[in-house]
Amino acid sequence: MAEGSFPLLGDKFPEFTAKTTHGMKNIPGDYKGKWLVLFSHPADFTPVCTTEFVAFQQKYNEFRAMNTELIGLSIDQVFAHIKWVEWIDEKLKVSIEFPIIAANDALAEKIGLLHPGKGTNTVRAVFVIDAQGVTRTILYYPQEIGRNMDEIVRVVKALQTSDKNGVACPADWPKNSLIGDKVIVPPASDMDTMKKRKAGEYENFDWWFSYKKLQ
């Protein structure tokens, strides 16, 4: 992975140790065996980021039900994170249960989270890291737009479904306009398989576009 760039999909996420609101953490090593959603935010005590932290916390049980942990990150100092979490709890009545990394510029640059045109604010990014520490999805948002938590939940669920069943998930899954909550079977890669698909092995639009209901 080049310095100052995002890790590529399929790469091991780069290991680092950092101070967090829950003490020192090794990322992603401390989460081995669990999926991890690591998300960066531009700054503490900003309106969009505050709405996101509340929204992430409100989805936290859904993530944990999928063996997935959350961890936030910005280059604010840890005392600022702690004060912000306290403010959210006191003013908005939401207790943030997941840790927040207090990154320095070198760490933020290492994983590509500093935008050269945006001063020292970290960008609004999401990394979905699987239980083996592999980077599976990267989402990158402008500072002006908050993230959609339902989509991040959907991404984790779709990746886990794909891994477990050897299938692909269609657009808007599990509410696809063509096949609903069904999943796509890998395309035929030889003539015999193609003939089985044409003979009705699965539901299909054609032999190269077959799909099925998960059991």
Which residues belong to the active site? 49
Q: What is the DSSP secondary structure assignment for residue 59, as one 8-state letter? A: T
DSSP annotation string for 23-56: EEEEETGGGTTSEEEEEE-S-SS-HHHHHHHHHH
Q: Which regions of the chain does DSSP assign to beta strands (E)?
A: 16-20, 23-27, 35-40, 68-74, 100-102, 124-129, 135-141, 183-184, 203-206, 209-212
Tell me phi and psi for residue 100, to 5 degrees: -125, 125
Compute the distance between CA of residue 66 and CA of residue 88 in angstroms, rounded to an integer: 26
Which residue, among 83, 108, 85, has the nearest Cα to 95 in the 3D structure? Answer: 85
Identify the H or E element spanning 103. none
Compute the distance between CA of residue 63 and CA of residue 60 in angstroms, rounded to an integer: 5
Angle between helices 47-58 and 78-92 (to 10 degrees): 70
Compute the distance between CA of residue 204 and CA of residue 67 in angstroms, rounded to an integer: 33
